[in-house]
Amino acid sequence: MKITSTVFIYFYFFAHPYYSVGQITSSSIRIRLTNPSFEGSPMQSAAPDGWRSIDFQGESAPDVHPNGFWGVTTKPFSGKTYLGLVARANKTWERIGQVLSSKLIQDSCYQFSIFLAQSPVYRSGMNNRDHFPQLSKMSEEFNFTIPIILRVWALDSKRNKNQLIGESPKIDHEHWKKYTFRFTSEDFFNAILLEAY
């Protein structure tokens, strides 16, 4: 059975507008996230303060690390904690989001950076979804170590429309690495979603 992996996340900053030379701007507003570095008490299946987990029915939520659970010992890039997201072989994945401090402006350009790493160990169970909605826990424990990607979405408040604003390459490194993304907002989005995939 193919077991996918986990990605660790530490946000550096989010949605700092950038502009090309000669482009006229009315403002340069930095959009801030609440708790961008996922600080809090390490815990399993619980969103850090300021974030909301958006789970698949019957599946676990993201984890705040490190505390040794799942065999994870990666040190934080900065601060005391970071977020772990898992993509599973049962075609489910973890995701987390929040409402932005102010809306993205349609047709405006933005840039954000994020630090990502993969754990060499992430041992956990997984649900058998063959007869969904009746889930059963598989008796095996798996090591989620196959590289996955992180996708970042901009959403409207009702999630009727969304835009993929960032997609990492496969995260196959155990050290923290900075990734920077640039995008032009297609609408007046007011929320962000991070998902392992």
pTM: 0.80
Q: Stretch 84-112: mean pLDDT, rounded?
A: 85
What is the C-alpha separation between 37 and 185, in angstroms, rounded? 23
pLDDT recorded at residue 69: 80
pLDDT at 168 exceeding the cut of 50: yes
Please tell me the least confidently modeled range out of 67-71, 74-78, 87-91. Answer: 87-91
Q: Are 87 and 196 in contact (CB under 8 A)?
A: yes
What is the C-alpha separation between 108 and 23, in angstroms, rounded? 11
Residue with tokens 């550096």: 12
Higher-confidence residue of 64 and 126: namely: 64
Residues in contact with 133: Cβ distance below 8 Å, sequence separation at least 6, in sequence order = 57, 58
Q: Stretch 125-153: mean pLDDT, rounded?
A: 65
pLDDT at 135 exceeding the cut of 50: no
First to last CA, the chain: 17
Q: Are 124 and 163 in contact (CB under 8 A)?
A: no
Higher-confidence residue of 154 and 91: namely: 154
